[in-house]
């Protein structure tokens, strides 16, 4: 089965002239005239990005999905190719109502017909992984039902295996192959698409996001009907709204587009810097606008999270950018090991300054963070900077948010809108608020350890006396006595923090 798939891939590759990408390499460039002579019938007048996009569409939904993911990696791709891949859409025909019924029966057993009072077998949306139907539950609640595309898992496994082989060839042939981490990119894609195959996981993502924004005046997230959610079927509250891409209709409905664009930026930064959990697929097809002007989020298969280390990196860089301290930005990258140890900080600092300094010399509303990111990516190539997959979703989502905001309001000032959130978060991370928060988080552990310190110190003293003798031990005891007052002060502080924490919990 896999051999036939491989043959089809080779046919498509030669049909759209994708071999030209490989033949451009110096090791095999001598073969280019030969290949062109053999395949003289091919029309290669279209730009390479267009031919790549059409080839992925011809190879089917999994390759289309891979192209969509790859389009977000502007740190890896030339801009003409990244821009073209960003146009990829899921042009996938829906599967039949008979197949939908089989999936429902497999999920719910013989009682499948008792779950829904009404079920519309004509899908309202169809994509490479799943399609969505409208339904009504027996208690009268209107629902949207997401049904996984049957038989998709073995197709994905076969295609991902072939992508892994291609990634290995790229690393072997191209000089920059290893730095671009093609194997990691494929692994990232594999993880992402496998996560989307488990609709229980997607439902839990939606539930978390809904809890984070419960009562929000900015964002609505559908409720999950957990009693009916299965790995192949997800049932959620049906949401009514206008697609955010239909700007003329939004304007006709009296929606304040400038306000809407600001709210989109606020929602993104609240997710990232308040919650550390954000919707990472915020393209217009997944966003609607309710009658009351609030955003409606849909499709929760791809979510992003930030670790404490990621946040620390972001904090250092944001503070340095605020102060125009490009040397600190360069040092932060070197300290994190993201550029080679031998990198000259002054040269890296100069390169970063050339990217960022123009930002501060132009009106804020004219600044495009997307363009700044792209220039930073280009700079990273020059200094062999390691690709950091954990921040790619954040970068990609910021590009989506800015693009959407500019469509709604061409004068959107992303920096001015985001700055209050960034300043508040930086204060929480590195200021006194951050210190208090860390002390409060660690207080329960310290409260358990501090009472044991006298016993631990006594045990250490006994063991140390046997090793270093009485005289050296006396010196250590004298030093310890001077430090005891700090230990007492620390204990009092911990007690106060515990009391404060209990007060917060009880209040």
Long-range contacts of range 367-374, CB-CB < 8 Å, 24 or more positions apart?
367/414, 367/415, 368/402, 369/398, 369/399, 369/402, 369/414, 369/415, 370/398, 370/399, 370/402, 370/403, 373/74, 373/398, 373/399, 374/74, 374/79
Q: Which of 90, 26, 21 is nearest to 51 (CA)?
A: 21
Q: Tell me how far apart the alpha carbons of residues 294 and 220 are, in angstroms, rounded to a whole number.
A: 7
Helix, strand and coil percent figures for the chain, each rounded to 5 = 65, 10, 25
Length of the chain: 507
Q: Tell me how far apart the alpha carbons of residues 454 and 460 are, in angstroms, rounded to a whole number.
A: 10
Sign of the CA dihedral running 61, 66, 71, 72: positive
Instruction: Say whether 281 is catalytic.
Output: yes
What count of other Cβ atoms lies within 10 Å of the Cβ of residue 128?
22
Long-range contacts of range 479-486, CB-CB < 8 Å, 24 or more positions apart?
none
Q: List, in order, residues 6 or more apart from 84 with CB less than 8 Å away.
A: 47, 49, 50, 52, 53
Sign of the CA dihedral running 91, 95, 96, 101: negative
- The answer to whether 441 touches 308, Cβ cutoff 8 Å, is no
Which of 75, 159, 281, 299 is labelled catalytic? 281
End-to-end alpha carbon distance in the chain: 64
CA angle 160, 162, 168 (to 5 degrees): 105
SS (H, E, C) 20-81: HHHHCCCCCHHHHHHHHHHCCCCCCCCCHHHHHHHHHHHHCHHHHHHHHHHHCCCCCCCHHH
> Where do we find the tokens 């990119």?
185
Q: Tell me how far apart the alpha carbons of residues 143 and 301 are, in angstroms, rounded to a whole number.
A: 18
Q: Tell me how far apart the alpha carbons of residues 452 and 459 are, in angstroms, rounded to a whole number.
A: 11
What is the set of active-site residues? 281
């Amino acid at each position: 089965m896999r051999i036939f798939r491989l043959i089809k891939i080779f046919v498509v590759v030669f049909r759209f002239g994708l071999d030209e990408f490989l033949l451009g390499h110096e090791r095999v460039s001598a073969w280019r005239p030969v290949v062109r002579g053999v395949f003289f019938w091919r029309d290669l007048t279209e730009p390479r990005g267009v031919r790549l996009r059409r080839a992925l569409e011809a190879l089917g939904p999994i390759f289309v999905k891979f192209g969509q993911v790859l389009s977000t990696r502007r740190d890896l791709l030339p801009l003409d190719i990244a821009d073209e891949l960003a146009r990829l859409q899921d042009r996938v025909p829906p599967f039949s109502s008979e197949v939908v019924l089989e999936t429902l029966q497999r999920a719910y057993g013989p009682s499948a017909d008792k779950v829904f009072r009404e079920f519309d077998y004509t899908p309202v949306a169809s994509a490479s992984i799943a399609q969505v139907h409208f339904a009504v539950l027996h208690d009268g609640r209107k629902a949207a039902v997401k049904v996984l595309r049957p038989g998709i898992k073995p197709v994905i496994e076969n295609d991902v295996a072939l992508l892994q082989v291609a990634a290995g060839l790229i690393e072997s042939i191209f000089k920059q192959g290893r730095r671009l981490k093609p194997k990691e990119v494929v692994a990232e894609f594999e993880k992402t698409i496998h996560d989307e195959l488990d609709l229980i996981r997607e439902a839990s993502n939606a539930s978390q996001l809904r809890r984070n924004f419960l009562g929000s005046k900015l964002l609505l997230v559908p409720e999950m009907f957990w009693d009916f959610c299965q790995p192949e079927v997800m049932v959620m509250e049906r949401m009514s709204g206008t697609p955010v891409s239909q700007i003329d209709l939004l304007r006709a409905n009296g929606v304040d587009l400038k306000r809407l664009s600001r709210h989109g930026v606020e929602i993104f930064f609240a997710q990232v810097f308040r919650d550390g959990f954000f919707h990472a697929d915020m393209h217009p097809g997944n966003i609607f606008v309710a009658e009351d002007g609030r955003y409606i989020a849909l499709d929760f298969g791809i979510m992003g999270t930030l670790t404490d280390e990621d946040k620390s990196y972001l904090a250092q860089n944001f503070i340095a950018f605020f102060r125009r301290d490009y040397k600190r930005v360069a040092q932060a990258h070197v300290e994190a090991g993201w550029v080679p140890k031998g990198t000259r900080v002054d040269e890296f600092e100069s390169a970063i300054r050339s990217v960022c300094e123009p930002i501060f010399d132009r009106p804020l509303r004219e600044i495009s963070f997307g363009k700044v990111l792209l220039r930073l990516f280009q700079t990273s190539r020059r200094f062999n900077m390691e690709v950091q997959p954990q921040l790619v979703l954040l970068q990609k989502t910021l590009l989506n948010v800015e693009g959407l905001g500019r469509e709604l309001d061409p004068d959107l000032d992303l920096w001015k809108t985001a700055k209050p959130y960034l300043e508040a978060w930086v204060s929480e991370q590195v200021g006194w608020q951050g210190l208090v928060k860390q002390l409060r988080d660690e207080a329960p552990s310290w409260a358990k350890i501090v009472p044991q310190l006298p016993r631990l110190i006594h045990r250490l003293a006994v063991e140390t006396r046997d090793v270093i003798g009485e005289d050296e031990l006396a010196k250590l005891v004298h030093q310890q006595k001077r430090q005891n007052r700090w230990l007492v002060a620390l204990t009092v502080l911990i007690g106060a923090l515990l009391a404060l924490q209990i007060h917060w919990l009880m209040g």
